[in-house]
Amino acid sequence: MTSLGSYGLVAHIVLAAACFLSGPSSSGMVRLALFLFLAIVREALQGRFGGKDTFALPRRAANAGSAWVLGCLARLRFNLASPGSDGLTPLHLATSLGHFEAVRVLIGARVNVHATDLSGHTPLAMAAAFGHANLLHELLRASADPNAANIGGGTPLHFASARGDASAVQKLLSSGAGPNIADGGGMTPLFTVVCEAQKADMVATVETLLAGRADPNIGTSKTGQTALMRAAFVHSPGAVQSLMRAGATVDYCDSFGQTALHVACREKSFEAADSIIDGSSGEVLLSQDNDGQYAVTLLCEHLACGDAGACRVLGRMLRKDPRLANARDFGDTTPLITLLSAAKRHGDDKNALDAVQLLVTAKADVTLEEESGWSAAHYASSEAVREALDAPASFWAGFDADKPRDDSNSKYLARRGGHHRIPLLDRQDVLRGDWTVTGIARRIAEGRSVSIVLLFGAGVSTSAGIPDFRSSTGLWVNDTARNLFSPEIWSSDSTSAWRLLTGLLRGTEANAASLDGKQRPQPCSAHRFAYLLEQRKLLLRCYTQNVDGLEREAGVSKDRLVQCHGDATQAICTACPWKAEQSAEVLGCGAPDKDAPTCPSCGSPLRPAIVCFGESLPACYEKSATADLSQCDLLIVAGTSLCVYPVASLLKQVGPLCPRLLVNRDRVGLWQTSESPSENNLQYRDACWEGDVDKGFLELAKLLGWQKEMIDP
- The whole-angstrom separation of Cα 132 and Cα 121 is 15
Residue pair 294/284 in contact by the 8 Å Cβ criterion: no
- The whole-angstrom separation of Cα 433 and Cα 590 is 52
- The whole-angstrom separation of Cα 561 and Cα 552 is 8
Return the half-sphere exposure (C-beta side, CA atoms, 13 A cut-off) of residue 528.
Answer: 21
Any bridge partners for residue 520, and if so which? 513
The identity of residue 681, as a single letter, is N
Radius of gyration of the chain (CA): 32
- The whole-angstrom separation of Cα 487 and Cα 485 is 6
- The whole-angstrom separation of Cα 339 and Cα 361 is 15
Residue 258: other Cβ atoms inside 10 A: 25
Q: What is the largest CA-CA distance in the chain?
A: 110
The identity of residue 135, as a single letter, is L
Q: Select from 293, 294, 298, 343 the least CA-distant residue to 321.
A: 294
Residue pair 395/366 in contact by the 8 Å Cβ criterion: yes
- The whole-angstrom separation of Cα 52 and Cα 601 is 13
Q: Where are the beta strands (DSSP E) in 494-565?
A: 512-515, 518-521, 539-544, 561-563
The contacts of residue 660 (CB under 8 Å, 6+ apart) are 634, 635, 636, 637, 651, 654, 685, 686, 687
The identity of residue 278, as a single letter, is D
Beta strands 539-544; 561-563: pairing state: parallel
- The whole-angstrom separation of Cα 299 and Cα 335 is 9
- DSSP letter for each residue of 266-292: HTT-HHHHHHHHHTS-GGGGG---TTS
Q: Which residues are catalytic?
A: 565
Q: Select from 68, 73, 63, 128 the least CA-distant residue to 99.
A: 63
Any bridge partners for residue 571, and if so which? 608
DSSP state of 24: T
